[in-house]
Structures are given as C-alpha cells and as structure tokens.
Chains A and B, each alone.
Chain A
Amino acid sequence: MSQVDEVLHQHRERAQTRDLRLEGLTKEFASFTAVKALDLVVPTGTFFALLGPSGCGKTTTLRMVAGLETPTSGRILLGDDDVTYTKPYKRPVNTVFQNYALFPHLDIAENVAFGLKRRGIKDVKGAVAEMLELTELSTQATKTPGQLSGGQQQRVALARALINRPEVLLLDEPLGALDLKLRRSMQVELKRIQSEVGLTFVHVTHDQEEAMTMADVVAVMNGGVIEQMGSPTELYDNPRTTFVANFLGQSNLVAGEIIGVDGDVVKADMHGTTVSVPRERAHATSGKGWIGVRPEKVLIARTGERIDAPGNHMTGAVVTDASFIGVSTQYRVRMAWGQEITAFEQNTGLREVLAPGTPVDVSWRPEFAFLLDASQDVTAGLGEV
C-alpha cells in the first residue's frame, strides 16, 4: 500500500465509528450570543444540514467545529476525542469556505495537494490526479484559481478539502455564489460525491430547498438555538414551531381554540368549524393554537362541487388571486372569517383556472394538518433569508 493509501485507510477505519457531538456549545461575542447551549449529534456518514436565516449562528457553529472560533463554553467531541480547544490543523476536519479561499499563488494541483503535503506525505501525485478526476478538473491542474469559473473554483475548494478524507467535511454555504442552474447541478454532484466517499458532511445553508434536496438530516437554527431537527420530510410535514413552518416552505396558520384530545386526534375549533389534527402532529393540547396546513394540501372547489377530502368543508370563501405557473396554480383565497390562505393546485387538466371572485369551498385531509402552540409569533421565519 502506498503512503497515501495507508493514511487514508487509517482515516476511513477510524471514521467508521466516530460521531460528531456538540454538547452545550455556546459562543458569546461582545454584544450578543451567537450560539446558545447547542446540543447536537451528527452520526458518522450522514449528510447533515444546518439551515437557518443569516445571523442564526450556523456559521459560527461550523467555525467552532473547524477550530477557527473558540467556544465560550461547551464541548465538541469526535468519537471520544474532545477537540473543543484543539488547533484547527490538528483536527481531522476540513472546510469548504463560502468564498472558496483558494490560494491564488498556487496552481490547482498545488491547491489540492496542500493538505496532504502539510501532513508530510511526499508522493501526492496519484491522490491529486484521482481527486481532480472525481471533481472533473483534470484539465485544469496547471491553471491558477483566477483563471477558473465560479463553478470550477467551487469544485477545487471541494477537492482540496476532500482529498484529506476528513472525518467531517464542513461546507459553509458552498453554493451561495453560483447561479441557480449551476447550483442545482452542484447539489446533485455534492450528494453523489458524499455517498461515494461516505464521509460525514455538515452543510451550512440558508437555502431551505438546498438543505432538503441534499441532506439526510436537517437542523433548523434560529437565534442561536436549534428549533427542530429531523429528516426533510419530517420537518416539512410535522413542523414543531411557527418558525420552522414558515421558514421551511410555506404554511397557512389559522388561529383556533383547542377542544382537547380525542383518541388519536386533537380537536380544535377553527372559527366555528371543528377540525381534527393527528395526535403526533399536535404540539399543543389545550388553550389557543395555530392550525397549520401546507398550501398544496389545501383543496378548493366551486361552491357546492365535490371535494375529494373527508374533512370538514369550509364554505363562504372567495378566490382573491390566481397565478398560473404552468405546473400548478397558486390561489389566494379569502376565508369566511376574513383571513387569506394560500392553496397550490396541480395542473392536472381537470379544471380551468378559477378566476378571482369565484366563490369556493375549502377543505383538507385532517391527517395533513398540524397544530402549534399559539404563544409563538405567527410571522416567525417569514421573509427571512
């Protein structure tokens, strides 16, 4: 086995069983607390996304894991090793920086070889060539970073970090500077590379679509704390806070009085209509609540027409706005109690677009609704990036 292979092999062996754990991690700056007592476990080999608006503490968390920021308190563990105060160059962790931070005075191959050489590995040619192959940069090896496009630079940054086979790869908004189309293809690429190399990826982003597309587990961060953590479907279908409901996709949140638990469901009175919410999606069981439903789950039909949903029909609603976007139509509907809600309807071709002013009935299947504690700000997470 060559020297490189040996080192990489050792790393992979160790990486098998080593989770990244953050325990009570806190970072206070002079005027504010960026991260508040964060507890988090990232299992080995997962693609983990830290999602949140700017200033939520996600980048600070990442920098603490990289060793570029010293925590005020708390611990960072890799397996059983406490790396909280370990120097960045002694951690088996590498970072893909937001602006890539490629070394402008070195060519692409030298950039990629940098980490291996610093660890005293002399023969790096094979490993570099292999990594350039993986990131489709073989023809660019002798160019300097300034001669590459944004997407190519991004891949160099990735190759430069990946070649070290870190136990944890940190990605700080790595696709933020790319245009939409390139971003989409890089998302797929990143996901492919991650499953190929099987390393733990911690990806920081404010783009909820990006987080959901790529990550196995998403942690939604807000104001220095994790609001909710889970798989993308879990977070989307069963948000626990208004922030998650609004930041991750869109939600209709309607005020209601909770009646109480009834078997598998929690019943609530919503402006005179009794609606039921599955027990496991109800995050409040008494008092006032927000009844939430995603726009694509809201069904509408002309008054009197049949709606394919077993729930209650709410009558007396009027379409106020309809925008046809091809694949679907987005409706704004004013309910009988005056609130406007949003409904997305697939363009299945069964019906023409309903014009504004059309009286409609509204319904949704009860199992798609969720119930949140009304003490929270209903607008939390709206319009934040």
Chain B
Amino acid sequence: MTPLQRVGRWIGDHLVLALGVLVIVYLVVPIAIVALMSFNDSSGSRNVYKFQEFTVSNWANPCKPEGLCDAVSTSIQIGLLATIVATTLGTLAAFALARHRFRGRSGANMLIFLPMASPEIVMGSSLLALFVAAGFGGQLGFWTIFIAHVMFCLSFVIITVKARLSGLDDNLEQAAMDLYATEAQTFWRVTFPLVFPGILAAALLSFSLSFDDFIISNLNAGQTVTFPMFVWGAAQRGVPMQVNVIGTAMFVIALALVLAGGWNQRRRATAKAA
C-alpha cells in the first residue's frame, strides 16, 4: 500500500465519524452557550452577551427579572391544557379518519394539513381577525392563545396518531375479539397499548409546539405574556441571564425524560430476557 493510498484509506475510515462529530457540535454549541450564559454575572456590564464572571446567582434567583416566572407559568399552563385537549380530540379524530369511511373523509384529511402548511403569520392574523369579528376583541388573552394552540397542535396530533394507526395490523383486533375480548377489552388491551407510543409522541410534540410558539401567540395575546413573548420583549433591552436558566432547565428536563424513557425500555427488555 502506498502512503497515498494509506492516507486515502484513513480518510475513508474516519470521514463519516468526523462529519458526524461536526454535525453534533453544530447542534450542541448553541445549547452549550445558553447553559454557559446561565452562569454569567452580567451585572455592571452593558454588554449582556459577553461572559463576564461566573456566578450561581442566576440559578438561585431565576424569578428575579419582573414578569419572567409569570410568563413561564402562563406558557406551561397553556401548553399543558392545549396538549391535553389537542391530544384527546386529535386521537379521537385520528381513529375516525383511519378506521371509518364516511362522506368528507378525504376532504378532512386534506384540511388537516392546512394549519401545518400555512405560514404562522397568516394563521395568527386570521385568527385575530376572527376573534375580533366574533366580538372577542376585548377578551384576547389566555383563552384565545389556548384556542389558537389547540388548533395548530390538533393537526400534528392527528397526523402522528394516524400514522401509528395505519401501521397497526387490524388482524390484531380481530384476533383479540376471536380470543374472547369484548370491544372495550380489545381497545384497552390491544389497540391502546399499541397506539400509545404514537399518542405520547403527539402529546410531547404538542407541548413543545405550544410552549415554543411566538407569532400566533403574540397576535392573539392581548395583555397576556407567554415565555417566548417575554424573551422577545426583553431582547429589546438586553436579555436577563435568567432566561438562559429557564432555557437550560427546559433542556435538562427534556433530556432527562428521553434518557429515562430509554433506560426504562432497556430495563424492561433485560427483565424479559432474563
């Protein structure tokens, strides 16, 4: 093997790995910066985007900036409510669309994509127009945001659950009925456990979409401030370092959930194999 070939071989062997590492760095660096900045002591400096000095005071007093924790709490409340309502309605709708033939089914299947496909600014402004036209212009706030979030989360839930359902062998339900399971037992013993991962994924997706949404919320919020709106507002003057604390905490919680899920799955697999 000539040295040139050897170099070629080395590159060939390590290129994919190197690219993979680069991509992961690309994904992780912004998060790392957020985590780092959450420990930044920005007091006494005018440039808040520069790391000055290490401190844990941001973590000790995350609610120090006025309105921050209220905004986070509003976002979490809207997120949870919207997730519960959208996941329930969406799951029911997905079952109807996947299992039954009825007039308007294909039309409904198309319309479900609309909220996903249309630009958020369009959805947001038309919802605002709707609320105002319907006489709710004075009541814009928590509940109008909630209604808007349920609307766009529904599409994602229906599509996620429907995909899971269509991958489900309908012979399984027939087999359950054949094995003395009533309709209700068939649903709770066979259908639901098999569709559950899809429903869970849909719920997680709903929550993060709702928590994250800025454009639609901002247009329909009235006096209410959600977390993304707070960050946006704060960014005009200089983001308080506590926002990084909230961001890091959210990330850590999500990571912990994913790890716990994976760990639980592995534990069950080994328990079965043993």
Q: Which A residues fall within an 8 A CB radius of B? A: 66-68, 87-90, 93-95, 97, 99, 101-105, 107, 114-115, 118-119, 142-144, 160-161, 164
How far in angstroms is the closest Cβ of chain B from A93?
Answer: 8
CB-nearest residue of chain A relative to B185? A118
CA distance A144 to B268 in the complex (A): 12
Q: Within 8 Å of chain A (Cβ to Cβ): is B103?
A: no
The contact size tier of chain B is 20 to 34
**Quick check: A97 and B176 within 8 Å, CB to CB?**
no
**Quick check: B171 and A89 within 8 Å, CB to CB?**
no
CB-nearest residue of chain A relative to B173? A101
**Quick check: B272 and A99 within 8 Å, CB to CB?**
no
**Quick check: B181 and A89 within 8 Å, CB to CB?**
yes
* Proximity string of chain B (183-197) to chain A, C-beta cutoff 8 Å, 1 when within and 0 when not: 001000110011000
**Quick check: A114 and B176 within 8 Å, CB to CB?**
yes
Q: Which single member of A67, A68, A101 contacts B172 (CB below 8 Å)? A: A101
A143 neighbours in B (Cβ, 8 Å): 272-273
Q: Which single member of B172, B179, B189 contacts A94 (CB below 8 Å)? A: B179
CA distance A166 to B181 in the complex (A): 15
CA distance A93 to B172 in the complex (A): 16
CA distance A87 to B174 in the complex (A): 11
Within 8 A of A (CB), among B59-107: none
Query: 15 A-B contacts, Cβ less than 8 Å apart?
Result: A66-B178, A88-B174, A88-B177, A88-B178, A89-B181, A89-B182, A93-B178, A94-B179, A102-B175, A105-B194, A115-B179, A142-B272, A142-B274, A160-B179, A164-B179
A104 neighbours in B (Cβ, 8 Å): 172, 194
CA distance A161 to B171 in the complex (A): 14
Residue among A93, A97, A107 having the largest count of chain B Cβ atoms under 10 Å: A97
Q: Within 8 Å of chain A (Cβ to Cβ): is B13?
A: no
CA distance A103 to B175 in the complex (A): 9
CA distance A95 to B174 in the complex (A): 10
A97 neighbours in B (Cβ, 8 Å): 171, 174-175
How far in angstroms is the closest Cβ of chain B from A303?
Answer: 60
Q: Within 8 Å of chain A (Cβ to Cβ): is B10?
A: no
**Quick check: B169 and A114 within 8 Å, CB to CB?**
no
B175 neighbours in A (Cβ, 8 Å): 95, 97, 101-103
If over half of B's interface residues share one DSSP class (helix, strand or loop), that class is named, otherwise mixed; here it is: helix
Q: Which B residues fall within an 8 A CB radius of A? A: 169, 171-172, 174-182, 185, 189-190, 193-194, 272-274
CA distance A132 to B193 in the complex (A): 25
CB-nearest residue of chain A relative to B179? A115
B180 neighbours in A (Cβ, 8 Å): 89-90, 115, 118-119, 164
How far in angstroms is the closest Cβ of chain B from A171?
Answer: 12
B190 neighbours in A (Cβ, 8 Å): 103, 105
CA distance A95 to B180 in the complex (A): 11
CA distance A147 to B272 in the complex (A): 12
B194 neighbours in A (Cβ, 8 Å): 104-105
Given the interface pairs A104-B194, A105-B194, A142-B273, the reply to whether A99 lies near B171 with Cβ below 8 Å is yes
CB-nearest residue of chain A relative to B181? A118
B272 neighbours in A (Cβ, 8 Å): 107, 142-144
B174 neighbours in A (Cβ, 8 Å): 68, 88, 97, 101
CA distance A101 to B189 in the complex (A): 14
How far in angstroms is the closest Cβ of chain B from A279?
Answer: 46
Q: Which single member of B178, B181, B182, B273 contacts A95 (CB below 8 Å)? A: B178
CA distance A117 to B177 in the complex (A): 13
Residue among B169, B179, B190 having the largest count of chain A Cβ atoms under 10 Å: B179
CB-nearest residue of chain A relative to B274? A142
B182 neighbours in A (Cβ, 8 Å): 87, 89, 118
Shortest 3 CB-CB distances between A and B: which pairs?
A: A115-B179, A101-B175, A101-B171
How far in angstroms is the closest Cβ of chain A from B207?
Answer: 25
A119 neighbours in B (Cβ, 8 Å): 180
A105 neighbours in B (Cβ, 8 Å): 190, 193-194
Other CB < 8 Å A-B pairs besides A67-B178, A118-B179, 19 of them? A66-B178, A68-B177, A88-B174, A89-B177, A89-B179, A89-B182, A93-B178, A94-B178, A95-B175, A97-B171, A101-B172, A103-B172, A103-B190, A104-B194, A118-B181, A143-B272, A143-B273, A164-B179, A164-B180
CA distance A94 to B171 in the complex (A): 13
CA distance A323 to B6 in the complex (A): 58
CA distance A102 to B176 in the complex (A): 9
